[in-house]
Amino acid sequence: MDKLQQRHIHLHQTGDVATLAEHQQALCCLLQEFDRVCKALDITYYLFAGTLLGAVRHEGFIPWDDDLDVIMERSEYRRFMEEAPKLLDCDGFYLQEEFTEHYPMFFSKLHLNGTTCLEKHHPKDPLVHQGVYMDIFPFDHAYGSRIGRYVQFLCSKVVIAKGLDARGYETDSTAKKIFMVISRVLPRSLFHRIVRGPKKRGKYIHCFLGGASKLSKSVFPADLFDSTVPLPFAGGRYSAPGGYDEILTILYCDYMTIPPEEDRKCKQHAILVDLKRSYEHYGSYRDGMKFDNPIRSIR
């Protein structure tokens, strides 16, 4: 047994590592605060991806999921970033906005202060917040033509690669390494502008910056988001898109069928979650660790 394994076992024995259920409870605290602020600002958001699936199928988290995702139209997303800091409980929560000094990613996060959520990479910036978090994604207008949407999709890969490379993404894939190196010299602002698409909303919207590997899993009829419905989630009720059935069918096909036990795996975003101590306590914890980053859809 190596020293890293011994270190992790010791933390479990001392009770410093949170269980999945405890991690999910902390995520609920984030969702409650996020929902409170959105209601106060009259901002529309939607549960999305595995979180939406969990709400519909389990009335809460998918039991093996350690993630929480919401999505909002770009105009609402911008307004949230501008106005939410005035209403957030800044002692308990931290809003990490996209493309900021210590966070080069293409979406935003709401963090729980005083906690630790170490992900499977070595951050290039030691000042990035690494507390328990929920993801906040924008969705954008898609071009009417399939060719236009495909160009947006390709441009999103450049934006994503630049963000992951700057953050410290690690991979054994030679192709991914080469693409990230090439992306360094490409202008993010140009590609991001193309991804955002036309100013006027048309027939389709997309969430390419949500990281889906296929174009077909990231484009939706815009009218599916024209209304909201409250869905039960972990003891509360939160906003979901009125067209959630079609959205989940696009994302997961037969989404109400629970996968066999051997396939009930999450992406394991975190290697360590501690709800008692802040991430600063774990400054060198990942030193010497090597990570894999499998692409797997949460079901």
Q: What is the pLDDT of residue 265?
A: 67
Q: What is the DSSP string of the chain?
A: --HHHHHHHHHHHHT-SPPHHHHHHHHHHHHHHHHHHHHHHT---EE-HHHHHHHHHHSS--TT----EEEEEHHHHHHHHHHGGGTS-TTTEEEE-TTBTTB--SSEEEEETT-EEEESS--S-TTS--SSEEEEEEEEEPPSSHHHHHHHHHHHHHHHHHHHHHHT---S-HHHHHHHHHHTTS-HHHHHHHHH--SS--SEEE-GGG--SSGGGTEEEGGGGSSEEEEEETTEEEEEETTHHHHHHHHHSSTTSPPPGGG------EEEEESSS-GGGGTTTTTT-----------
pTM: 0.92
Tens of pLDDT along 182-192?
Answer: 999 999 999 99
Q: How confident is the model at residue 163 (pLDDT cuts 50, 70, 90)?
A: very high
Domain boundaries, the chain: 15-140+220-282
For residue range 176-225, list pLDDT tens digits in order: 999 999 999 999 999 999 999 999 999 999 999 997 789 999 999 999 99
Q: Structure tokens of 165?
A: 């490379």
Tens of pLDDT along 8-20?
544 544 457 999 9
